Homo-oligomer: A and B are copies of this chain.
Amino acid sequence: MDKTIYLGALDIGGTKLAATVADASGPLARVVAPTARSGGERAVGEQATSLLAQACATAGIAPGMIRRVGVSSCGPFVTVDGAIALVTPNLCGGLSGASDLPNDWTRIPLESVLRESFADVVIRNDCVAALTGERSFGALQDQANCVYVTWSTGIGFGLCVDGHILLGKHGNAGHAGHMLLDAASDALCGCGNRGDVEALVSGRNLGRRGGQNAAAIFAAARQGESAERTLVEQAAQWFGRALYNLAVTLDTRVFVIGGSVWLHHGDWLEALVQHEIVTRLPALTAEVTLKPAALGSLVADIGALCLVLPAEWRETWRQRQPWQALTS
């Protein structure tokens, strides 16, 4: 009988779903598919189970040999009979304002469906999983008071205070992208808020306000086009104020920033962001530092694995970085 411990990892996003199988040596196989959008509300959970079985087949093991499954998922979550379900606006067509989706789901019963095949499942919001990954193997090792933030199509946070990763009553802690920042703004967020962080700075909403996609806006801003430069610089200021608000709320020491916007433009945005933090309330902000995320595009897969990784594997993985073999 094979006594090797096998782990499963799922990265469930609004556009793609990735399943990875690993053992102590590192990831063995990874399978990716577009996230299910039609069928019954069990479709996403069943697709995740099926992709994990495919990853097992590629790795040459039976799905029943998976000991634990870590899941990085888009949110928000609700708890139904003690199990996590997703109420994600860009997957659930039955939620208000999402009528262009080919389904009428109001919630996706993720945990209950996964538990039909796997006994030990740990589901976390994608930024919480990313935070776990960066604390295990990335830019936040040995940091007790730290925040992971992604600045990308949307804005999300994973929060750690006193070495404790914050979950909240339904695992939704870190939805500070929906924190209100500018009461006078008419910038609209997908959640219906006006003037929240995501409305003011996310790639999706910058693109909407600038009349072209976010990449083009940032490129024009880089070349000194004044309208785009103003839009981007204001976004950096709002983003900095959001981090300031978190720093005074949580007495944070380090912010690690990931996501495509920061990856490509963090070099020139960092000074603007830092300025908004350290010019206020020095007792709380003087020691705050910003760092780029270290795990790149694999952060969700690594983060999901870290949710269930045996402690005794950690040091070897730190040294060998076996996830480098994964292709994203």
Contacts and interface: CB of A to CB of B under 8 A. Distances in A.
A176 interface: yes
Interface stretch (A36-44, A158-166, A256-264): A158-166
Nearest to A185: B183
Interface in A225-261: 241, 244-246, 248-253
Interface stretch (A11-19, A204-212, A280-288): A280-288
Contact of A241 (B180, B191, B281): B180
A284 B145 contact: no
A145 B79 CA distance: 15
Nearest to A195: B183
A172 B246 contact: no
B251 A171 contact: yes
A182 interface: yes
Contacts of A24: none
A176 to B, nearest CB: 4
Interface string A84-124: 00010000000000000000000000000000000000000
B244 A175 contact: no
Nearest to A241: B180
Contact of A280 (B145, B174, B193): B193
B180 A183 contact: no
Contacts of A180: 181, 241, 244-245
Nearest to A173: B251
Nearest to A174: B249
Interface in A27-81: 75-78
Interface residues of A, number: 48
Contacts of A159: 249-250
Q: How many identical subunits does the complex contain?
A: 2
A162 B166 contact: yes
B162 A167 contact: yes
Interface string A178-221: 11111110000001110000000000000000000000000000
Nearest to A170: B251
A82 interface: no
A124 to B, nearest CB: 12
A126 B58 CA distance: 57
A179 B169 CA distance: 23
Contacts of A87: 283
B184 A184 contact: yes
Nearest to A176: B249
Contacts of A168: 145, 161-162, 250-252
Given A166-B162, A248-B179, A251-B168, A281 B173 contact: no
Contacts of A170: 251, 283-284
6 contacts: A78-B283, A172-B251, A179-B249, A183-B184, A191-B280, A192-B280
Interface of A: 75-78, 87, 144-145, 157, 159, 161-162, 164, 166-176, 178-184, 191-193, 241, 244-246, 248-253, 280-281, 283-284, 287
